[in-house]
Amino acid sequence: MDNLEIKIRGYEEKDEDSIRKICCDTGLWGKPIDSVFEDREMFADLIIGPYLKYEPEHVLVAEDYGEVVGYLTGYLNKNFEVKTAPFFIKSIAKMLSRYLKYNKRSRKFVRHSLTKTPFELPKHLKAAHLHINLKENSRGSKIGAQLLDAYERMLKLKGLNHYYGEVVSSNCKRTQELYEKLGFRFYDKVKSTIFNPEINEDLYIMCIHKELK
């Protein structure tokens, strides 16, 4: 699982702060989330908190000379969404308790997340799921492919033969071509407006699906 200085390994509790930082540093379509939502604690809780709390054994970390530069969070339990519902309810309640302390843009983000985002999500399959993320200076390398390879080996050991994920893109055709080369098929896509007006182009959330040989 090693490639030169890159090491792919299982998640450890000491990795949590690094993973949460990468999540927030890349939350605005690869850029820091702060200009859209100021509460990094809540953002990380909502995006990756459930994975770390309920299925940490299925989280992978990419390490470069001892520094965490990427992660893959996944869930294999088909009832994951039901199981994590109490966590989300508690997190949303906490976010709403802070609502009046947020700046204007952050309040808009909260409103959008609760009223529009649920209708801007693509359809997905009942299958294992993953969320993958890399530090900005680690993109374009083979780290993402290494994380995917390790995750797929994990799935095969569990007797699972397919999984899905979601990607954000402005160029659906190019993104589709890139992922098709990795063996993915596209299941659904929905236009997302959560980053308007900071991102001045149409963005789409796309559900990708892969069957393992």
Q: Residue 155 is encoded by which pair of tokens?
A: 């799935």
Instruction: State the pLDDT at residue 59.
Output: 98
Instruction: State the pLDDT at residue 16.
Output: 98
Strand partners, 3: 6
Instruction: State the pLDDT at residue 46.
Output: 96
Instruction: State the pLDDT at residue 178.
Output: 85
Positive or negative CA dihedral for 191, 195, 54, 62? positive
Instruction: State the pLDDT at residue 1.
Output: 43
Regions of the chain short of the pLDDT cut 70: 1-4, 140
SS3 assignment for the chain? CEECCEEEEECCHHHHHHHHHHHHHCCECCECCCCCCCCHHHHHHHHHHHHHHHCHHHCEEEEECCEEEEEEEEECCCCHHHHCHHHHHHHHHHHHHCHHHCCHHHHHHHHHHHHCHHHCCCCCCCCEEEEEEECHHHCCCCHHHHHHHHHHHHHHHCCCCEEEEEEEECCHHHHHHHHHHCCCEEEEEEEECCCCCCCCCCEEEEEEEEECC
**What is the rounded CA–CA span in Å between residue 179 and residue 163?**
14
91-108 pLDDT tens trace: 999 999 999 999 999 999
Instruction: State the pLDDT at residue 77.
Output: 83
Instruction: State the pLDDT at residue 140.
Output: 66
Assigned superfamily of 2-163: Gcn5-related N-acetyltransferase (GNAT) (3.40.630.30)
Please, are residues 85 and 169 in contact by the beta-carbon 8 Å criterion?
no
pTM, 2 dp: 0.92
Looking up tokens 């990607």, which residue turns up? 167
Instruction: State the pLDDT at residue 2.
Output: 43
